[in-house]
Structures are given as C-alpha cells and as structure tokens.
Chain A
C-alpha cells in the first residue's frame, strides 16, 4: 500500500522509500526510515499536504511524495 492511501488515524510501517535523494535524507534526519511506524494525523485543506506522526514528531509532506513511500 502507498502512504498516500493510508486512512486517517491509522498506523503503518514503512517498507520502501523511493522519493528523490534530498527528501530521503531529510526524512532520515527526522527519523523516518524503512521500518519506522507512521501515523496519518490529518490532511490540510484541499487534502494536501498530509500531516504524519512518527516517533512523537509531527511533520507534513505532500501527497505526491507520499505516493513514493510504501507502507504495510
């Protein structure tokens, strides 16, 4: 399943990150890597970007980037 298809307030584990290198490094910096569990907290107006919670950190990324992250 793709991260963008995650339902509100559901939790999943990341199995693959295919986005561009710069974003991948950024995500790694804040502790989002393969194997971490991630929860969809809310969506912004117009359903984009999406806010996630991961290890107690709240952050937001765009839907198009979520399409490149696979979760389980």
Chain B
C-alpha cells in the first residue's frame, strides 16, 4: 500500500485537494488552521493508495499543537510519497517548507494549487524552473475547480526522491538559501496585484473599518440568526403540521389493523412524534450552517478575530479564541477541536471551558421551540440567547484569569488575513448535506435511544405497565430531582427529566416535553422569567455527550475536565437562579427569600471552593507546564509570595 501525505503551508488548499482526490468530505475554510487532525482516506478509484491530510505547517519548528502533530507524524511514519501543496501567490514562503521537505529523502511531488487563479489573472507560471530547483516533479492543479487532478494521480506512482543534482542541494548556508529562494520565486511567477487582492483591499476598508467594523460584525451575526429563524419559521410550521397529521393517521390505521394500544403508543407517541418535532427543525439548522459556512469560507472568520482581539483580550481571551468560539455557535465539538490552533496553553484551556456557553445548533433548536411555544416565535428571543452567550463568555473569561498568575498570562497574537474568496457553491452544498446527514444520524441514534428509554420509563412503574403516568418510574425519578430546580422556577418533574435527557443531546429536551407533556408545556412554567431561566440553564450547560467527551480529550487533564463540567452546570444554575429572582422581584412571591438565600450560599461556596482548589497551587509556572500538579518547589514559593 502506498501512503501519500499532503503537506503544505496553512490555508493553501490541502484539504480541498484531499477532498478532490478521495471524494470524501472534510471541512475546509479560508483561514489558517482549519484542519487540526490527521485525516486518512483511500483514493477515489484506487484502493491501494492511502491519502493522508495533515494540518498546515510553515517549517519544522512546530509551535502550536496542530503543527506538532505534523512533525511527529512525518518523523514516525515515513510516508511513501509527499505531495507538497504550494500556493503560487505565496511562493517564497511555500518554498521554505519545500526545501526542508526535499531533505527528508522521500519522493516528493509539488502540487501548485489555485491554478484557476493564475489563469484568471493572466499570469505566466514558469513551472519548469521548479524541477530545476528542487529536482522533483510538479503539477499545476486547482482543487476547487478540479483541474488536472487526473494528471496528479498519474505521477504519484512514478514519483522519485528529489534529484541530488538539483540547484537546491548545492546551497549550504541558511542565508544563501533564503536569498536563492527569494530570487527563484520571483523568476517562476511575477505577481502584480491580483484581482482578488484588489477586491480584498477594497472590502477590508469597509469590513475592518475602525468605526464600522464591529457594528458590521454585530449586524452580520444578528442577520444570520434573525434570518435563519424568520425564513425557516413558515417551513417549520408546515413540516410540523404535516408530521402531526401523518402520526395521527398512522395511529388510527395501526389500531384498525388490530395492533395492541401499547405498541401504537410506543411507535407513534414516543418514536414518531419525537422524530417529527426534531426533524421539523432541519430547515433552521441548515440555514444556520449555511451562514456559518459562508463566514468561514469567505475568509471573514480571521477578520473577526482581528476586529475583536482587543475586546476579547480584556476578558482573558484573545483574537485566536474568536474562531473556535464562532465555530461553537454551529457545533461545540468543532469549536473545541479548533482550540488547538491557539498557541498559549492557558488561553486554549479557557476557550475550551467557555465555548459551550455559546448556543450550538442543538441548543438553538430548543430555543426556537421555546420561542414558538411561549413567545409567539419571536426571533429576538433566540437572538438574545446568542448575545447572552457572548456576555457570559466575556464575564467568566475574566473570572477565570483572576485565578491565574498575571505574569504567565501573556500570549502573543498573530493572525493572517487571507484574500477573500467566493465560497464555492458545490462545497457549501456538501457542508449542508453532511450536516443534514449528521442530524438525521443523531436523531436516529441518540434521540431514538433517549425516546425509547423515556417511553419505557413513562409507561412502566413498580406495578408494571400502566397508562397512569403517576405510577411510572419517570414520575418518581423526576419528583426526586425536581427539588434541585425549585429555586430556578421550574421545579416540576417534567422539566427535571427534560434537563437530564438533555445531557445526552439537547434536542432530547424538546422531545421529552413532547412525550411527557404532550407539547402542553404552558402549565409547567409559572411565568415568562422561569421560561427564560430554563433557557439560560440549557444555554450554559454542556450541549451533549459528544461535546463532554471531546472536552475531556482536548483539555488533556482529568482535573480540568471535571472542573469544566461542574463549572458549566454551576454557572447555568446560578444564572438561571438570578433570572428567576428578577422574575420573582416583579411578582413578589413568598419563596423570594429562600431563593435569595440559596443564591448567596451558592455564590459564596463557589468562590471559596474555586479559591481553595486553584489559588494556593501553582498553575502557570514554566517549571511544571506539563501537568497541572503543582511541584513542591513552587508551592513553597507561592506561599511565601
């Protein structure tokens, strides 16, 4: 078996080429560091060749985590062939890596990507010079437009290690190499300003404007959320109606055929109705991801991090945290994996802990359902959740820094602003298709499992099968848990059960309500504030089981993992409590004093426990940067300070 590795600078189109070669779909975007993991797949029509996609690197001095993966991978698995993907508009920089790769003694093919842009700008590309310099073959390809992919495939098998008589190998010093590559890259392609660059400069004058930049960003996010609700609302209602009729028809038909009522109840009430509710949100999810993909693929994502760096720095995060946070608004899991591009350990950790605070697609569905039920489908409610999320990220980002030593907090920030590109339609469609598939898959597995379990728990009790819900296990379980949520304003067994099932996947929350309250949830919440407090609890608690597991993987420390999960639940609890208290202040109920007492106790206990767990230990010293366990030496130093 032949192993072919794609290596190149960040954002030069390795993953696009990977997708074109293998026919699979991996996430692409127009910013540095989209790929953070090693991805493998076989060639589309030749299963003897394995293609490996790697994160982008500039050189072999790896700094961030995703870069270290590449260097380690290349060192431990010697690939059969390396395809060095090169960006022709940044030849000088690409060649610095190429010259390092040529010394690995592995067959290399140089794939010059973005061929379509060379043609579009009428540039003359002297490709033959590449072979003189590096002694290996080159192909001009365009991964986006799928040009010359066949030619690349042909030469994979015949590729050779770089010819030692090539010009590169006659240069001995680092200094000379630099001058040499500078000279040669200009000879190969003389670039004037390309059309894309001119457009970028003009667009940036508006997008990154000192005064209008941030308002434009807020507007973009607002439009994104607002539209995805407004546009999908009509569709959602129609789908819902259709499914409801369908369910009722099936139920009557099944009863006619002579099936037992409990089977009908299992199939229709638990499985079908639950699916219907979740599936009716497909248009909304797809619209949301459409906007997210456009932001990512156009190159606006890294511009957001430029705009908001100063703002986020005030809250213990930085510009680099912005992209993972923006991605978290689509799916927390992708957001968490994107934190690997952050260079600083502490900033990365903080971003990972805080990213679940932003509403992911699944949470958005819950909010949309709630706003449909309680607020006449007002899109402002769901949009407000997004801004609440930002607010809490900022607030708790600052809070987390207070427990770290200042001197170690400093991280540098460097972001490249790539040329703006038109997102390719085929790629956007692919993303949407993948999201659709994921969504259906998730509904078919986790949501299905949860709904069957819930159905069993609602219909069985200590006395066996019973249609009276008060005899069921679920009723009894919920009644025990509900006391935790009494101060939050939704101390009833239905909402408690919904929150528990929401730990597996947030879509399960609405399914639970549909199943056990029959969609009649108005009675469960005493006022608007308790609804909002429930929504805030959902917003701030971990989104799903997958996210919790990813969190564990990304934090790489048991202590921080446990801390982050507990932290998210506690924050959710306290915020929900506060909102409920505000509501109570308006209604002046008797429970007020009890709730205030609980709030005060929780806050005090929280602060004391955080202080005890973290402050006395050294977290940030360079001496024990590998783990979180404090070394004795620093403990002593800290106590003396």
Please, how many residues of chain B have a CB less than 8 angstroms from a CB on the other chain? 34
> Which of B204, B311, B416 makes the CB contact (< 8 A) with A57?
B416
Q: Does B59 contact A (CB under 8 A)?
A: yes
- Let me know if A27 and B416 touch, CB within 8 A: no
Bound state CA distance, A45 and B412, in angstroms? 18
Cβ contact within 8 Å between A49 and B306? yes
**Contact A62/B92 with A30-B58, A48-B310 known, Cβ cut-off 8 Å:** no
A55 B417 Cβ-Cβ under 8 A: no
CB pair B58–A29 under 8 Å, yes or no, is yes
How far apart sit A36 and B363, CA to CA, in the bound complex (Å)? Answer: 49
Q: Separation in Å of the A38 CB from the closest CB of chain B?
A: 13
Q: Helix, strand, loop or mixed for chain A's interface?
A: mixed
For residue B415, which residue of chain A has the nearest CB? A60
| Contact A42–B415 (Cβ < 8 Å) | no
Pair B211/A45 contact, Cβ less than 8 Å: yes
B344 closest partner in A (C-beta): A22
| Binary flags per residue of A8-48, CB closer than 8 Å to B gives 1, else 0 | 00000000000110110111111100000000001111111
- When distances are taken between beta carbons in the complex, the residues of chain A under 8 Å from B416 are 30, 57-59
Which of B58, B61, B208, B414 is packed against the most chain A CB atoms within 10 Å? B414
Residues from 499 to 546 in B contacting A, C-beta threshold 8 Å: none
Is B236 on the interface with A (CB-CB < 8 A)?
A: no
Q: Is A22 touching B306 in the complex (CB atoms < 8 A)? A: no
Query: Please, what's the 1-or-0 string for B131-154, where 1 marks a CB less than 8 Å from any CB in chain A?
Result: 000000000000000000000000
CA distance A62 to B213 in the complex (A): 17
Residues on A with C-beta less than 8 A from B213 are 44-45
Beta-carbon nearest neighbor of B208 in chain A = A42
B204 and A42: CB pair below 8 A? yes
Are B92 and A31 in contact (CB-based, < 8 A)? yes
Pick the contact of A65 from B90, B205, B412 — CB < 8 Å?
Answer: B412
- Interface pair A26/B311, CB less than 8 Å apart: no
Q: Report yes or no: B417 in contact with A59, Cβ–Cβ below 8 A.
A: yes
Q: How far is the CA of A55 from the CA of B185 in the complex (A)?
A: 12
Any A CB within 8 A of the CB of B89:
yes
| A18 → chain B closest CB, angstroms | 13
Interface residues of B in 398-454 (CB under 8 A from A): 412-418
- Chain A interfacial positions (CB closer than 8 Å to B): 19-20, 22-23, 25-31, 42-49, 51, 55-62, 65
Listed from nearest, the 5 A-B pairs whose CB atoms lie closest are A29-B58, A23-B412, A58-B417, A46-B310, A59-B416
- Give B residues with C-beta under 8 Å from A: 58-59, 61, 63, 89-90, 92-93, 96, 191, 197, 200, 204-205, 208, 210-211, 213-214, 306-307, 309-311, 313, 319, 343, 412-418
